[in-house]
Structure 1
Amino acid sequence: MSETILKLANVAVFQKENLVLNDISLEVHKGEFVYLIGKTGSGKSSFMKMLYGDLPLKQGTGSIVDFDLKTLKENDIPYLRRKLGIVFQDFKLLPDRNINNNLIFVLKATGWKDPVKMNLKVEEVLDKVGMKTKGFKFPHEISGGEQQRVAIARALLNDPELILADEPTGNLDPQTSVEVMKVLQDINKTGRTILMATHDYALILKYPSKTLKCDGSKVFEVIQKAV
């Protein structure tokens, strides 16, 4: 039986007092590539925020990378996030420093001390996303697709057990989206688990995989029809 990375049972997701999603029960196993689809406003981002500790789990039970979401304390959140790689739609790179220093900033923030090890790690993750030669550039000097590759590299820094990608191609043109998707696919092939929120159905058709859907305040698995 493959290892369970994420397990939710009868979970409800709230934004403050408002119920966003209800009665979610699902499992994600090690090595899976899972899409999370749904219209804008259907609760995808709220669902993701609950997974990385931004929204508390008030109802139901859940565990993610061996953390209990129900009993998660404020000071556990940084440790949880070290085991998760989070990729955002808008890259969230720091504009005042180059790519290498963006990544070193994250390593320092997560407890790395040795400059030699940090530089090697930065080189390794940039290499994985095809950005090894661009580390000296500032975010504004590279394209949106390249910025998203760097954001994926940043998500890999602490060898996460699960990558949460929230609309990682949302700001990119179709061609660049496919390139970024290929990077994510390659990372998944190395055994990493990826949960990707998207409304880019062209990508899902091109790279079919297990799909969860947010709809009518529920999250459920959609069986893909052969096209």
Structure 2
Amino acid sequence: MARTVLSLQGVDIFQNKHKVLSNVNLQVKQGEFIYIIGKTGAGKSSFMKTLYADLPLTEGHGTIVEYDLRQLREKDIPYLRRSLGIVFQDFKLLPDRTVYGNLHFALKATGWTEKEAIDRKIEEVLDKVGMRTHIQKMPHQLSGGEQQRIAIARALLNDPDLILADEPTGNLDPQTSVEVMELLKEINANGKTIIMVTHDYALLLKYPYKTLKCDDGTLFEVVYKTT
């Protein structure tokens, strides 16, 4: 029986005290791949920010990777984020450091101290995303797709149970988007749970997974008609 990595019951989601989603009920099991879709301003990013505690949960009940979002204290937030892999649209790589330096910084920030273990882990995640030969390159020397691969490698550093990907293909051309999706598909096939916000409906058709839509203040599952 797959364990539950995210459970939301009667959750209201707010952005600047403005309610953007009402009565969200969701159970996500380990190994699922779920899309979140909806128009700009429909609440997708606010939903994701609530999951990684950038926005507080004040209404309803929510647990994510065994953290209670209602009871979460400020000092617990870094530990929660270590249990999550977070991938952003704009990569968020440090421009003044190499690929190695970016990953090294992320590991040190999450409590890693032993150099040999750090080096092994960096090589391991770069292998997983096919970027080991780029370890000494600077971000500006990489294409958008390569930068996103490094961002995904960074998300894998602490072996997270759940990866939150907020528009990971939003800044990429269609071919590169497919390459990033193939990588996420492979990571999911190896047992990682992925929740991904996207506007790219071509990807939804090419890679059909469970889809939830933010619309008119609610979050609901979209069932595609099969002909």
Interval of TM-score (by shorter of Structure 1 and Structure 2): over 0.9
Shift of 1:222: 1.0
Shift of 1:197: 0.4
Q: Distance in 2 between matches of 1:225 and 1:116?
A: 52
2:23 is aligned with 1:16: no
SS in 2 for 1:79: helix
In the alignment, which residue of structure 1 is the partner of 2:170? 170
Query: In the TM superposition, what are the counterparts of 1:45-84 in structure 2 within 5 Å?
Result: 45-84=45-84
The residue type equivalent to 2:70 in the other structure is K
Q: Distance in 1 between matches of 2:113 and 2:83?
A: 18
Q: Distance in 1 between matches of 2:56 and 2:104?
A: 29
Q: Distance in 2 between matches of 1:181 and 1:41?
A: 24
In the alignment, which residue of structure 1 is the partner of 2:117? 117
SS in 2 for 1:25: strand
Q: Deviations over 1:163-201 (max 9, x none)?
A: 000000000000000000000000001000000000100
Root-mean-square deviation (Å): 0.7
Q: Distance in 1 between matches of 2:38 and 2:137?
A: 35
Shift of 1:57: 0.4
What are the ranges of 5 or more consecutive residues in structure 2 without an aligned counterpart?
none
Q: Deviations over 1:21-64 (max 9, x none)?
A: 11100111000001011111111000000000000001000000
Q: Provide the identity percentage.
A: 66
Aligned residue pairs total 227
Q: Distance in 1 between matches of 2:218 and 2:171?
A: 26
- Greater shift in the superposed pair: 14-23 or 162-171: 14-23
TM-score (normalised: structure 2)? 0.99
SS in 2 for 1:202: helix
The residue type equivalent to 1:170 in the other structure is G
Are the counterparts in 2 of residues 208 and 224 from structure 1 also a CA contact under 8 Å?
no
Shift of 1:17: 1.2
Q: Distance in 1 between matches of 2:23 and 2:116?
A: 47
Q: Distance in 2 between matches of 1:142 and 1:213?
A: 33
Q: Distance in 1 between matches of 2:76 and 2:222?
A: 33
The residue type equivalent to 2:87 in the other structure is V
